[in-house]
């Protein structure tokens, strides 16, 4: 009776192609290509989709103000409490960036980097900005309305949030602008590094570390601080005119920081650097 041969399954050699490439440290060119791909996806969305996403992002950014205010109210106003409370500041950024909602300061990187190589996308980028920025502000306003005009929050938390907003409004316009430059630079840098990350965990750590610095330094972020400032106004600690007086230099600084200090520099590193290397070869 013939015996049956048992065959062992063939051992497959590990692939050295795309799987291995995913494990390698991405080059500046790889990161730029990912940034450009993300920009094309966002620019292809309809204005209604952008508006809904932008409104959600503005409301979600209230988590940064809420987390910080709750921690400060519970811990007190000491320097140690301030350091600990700012650990909750990245909450809104993590939710928005990982969830792919439309945050204006993040969009100072993606579409602008694409426009530098595809000039035809300029007006589409202006459309995105024109939709996302006001809907971000509207979302922040609705969060502040919920926080200050309902009984959802402990009055101590609302009071602390209003104090944070009043502190932001106390700075002169020049200080707000240059503070906004730093905030815009850090947020756009976070968006660039998230594009280089291989995992959600890595992206969360990048976002947390960089935005923690924004919160700890009290740098002006045009959306994250809007919720606090709206609470300040709604609790009658500041007039309504105080918001545009703060918002205009803040958003201007965020644009300058995001566009000039990250998009152009990283684009130069990724594209012009590669071109020069090819010429040398």
Q: For 121-132, what is the mean pLDDT?
A: 94
Domain annotation covers residue 256: yes
Domain annotation covers residue 11: no
First to last CA, the chain: 67
Residue 123: CA count within 13 A, CB half-sphere: 1
User: CA 187 to CA 178: how far, in whole Å?
Assistant: 14
Locate 173 and state its tokens.
């316009």
Domain annotation covers residue 261: yes
Domain annotation covers residue 201: yes
pLDDT of 223 over the 70 cut: yes
Domain annotation covers residue 184: yes
> What tens digit of pLDDT does each residue of 148-178 get?
999 999 999 999 999 999 999 999 999 999 9
Among residues 198, 199, 271, the alpha carbon closest in space to that of 21 is found at: 198
Range of the domain at 116: 30-273
pLDDT of 22 over the 70 cut: no
* pTM (two decimals): 0.84
User: CA 232 to CA 159: how far, in whole Å?
Assistant: 8
pLDDT of 270 over the 90 cut: no
Q: Enumerate the H helices of the chain as residue ranges.
A: 18-23, 28-43, 47-60, 62-75, 79-85, 91-98, 110-115, 122-149, 155-169, 173-196, 200-216, 224-234, 242-258, 265-267, 273-280
> What tens digit of pLDDT does each residue of 67-78 get?
999 999 999 888
Domain annotation covers residue 5: no
Domain annotation covers residue 4: no
Q: Provide the CATH number for the domain around residue 75.
A: 1.20.1080.10
Answer positive or negative: Cα dihedral of 90, 94, 97, 101.
negative
Among residues 109, 79, 78, 71, the alpha carbon closest in space to that of 210 is found at: 109
Percent of the chain residues past pLDDT 70, beyond the cut: 88
Q: Name the domain count of the chain.
A: 1
């Amino acid at each position: 009776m013939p015996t049956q041969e048992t065959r062992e399954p063939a051992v497959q050699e590990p692939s050295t192609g795309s799987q291995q490439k995913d494990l390698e440290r991405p080059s500046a060119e790889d990161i730029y290509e990912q940034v450009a791909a993300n920009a094309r996806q966002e620019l292809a969305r309809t204005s209604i989709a952008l508006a809904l996403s932008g409104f959600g992002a503005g409301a979600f950014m209230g988590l940064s103000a809420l987390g910080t205010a709750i921690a400060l109210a519970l811990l007190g106003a000491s320097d140690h409490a301030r350091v600990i409370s700012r650990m909750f500041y990245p909450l809104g950024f993590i939710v928005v960036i990982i969830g792919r909602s439309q945050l204006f300061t993040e969009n100072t990187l993606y579409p602008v980097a694409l426009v530098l190589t595809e000039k035809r996308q300029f007006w589409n980028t202006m459309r995105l900005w024109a939709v996302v920025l006001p809907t971000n502000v509207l979302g922040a306003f609705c969060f502040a309305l919920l926080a200050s005009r309902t009984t959802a929050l402990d009055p101590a938390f609302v009071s602390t949030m209003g104090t944070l907003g009043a502190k932001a409004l106390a700075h002169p316009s020049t200080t707000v602008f240059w503070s906004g430059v730093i905030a815009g630079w850090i947020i756009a840098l976070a968006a660039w590094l998230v594009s280089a990350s291989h995992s959600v965990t890595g992206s969360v750590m990048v976002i947390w570390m960089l935005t923690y610095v924004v919160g700890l330094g009290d740098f002006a972020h045009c959306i994250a601080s809007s919720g606090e400032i709206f609470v300040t106004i709604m609790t009658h600690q500041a007039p309504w005119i105080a918001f545009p007086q703060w918002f205009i230099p803040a958003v201007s600084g965020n644009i300058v920081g995001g566009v000039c200090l990250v998009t152009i520099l990283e684009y130069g590193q990724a594209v012009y650097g590669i071109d020069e290397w090819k010429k040398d070869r």
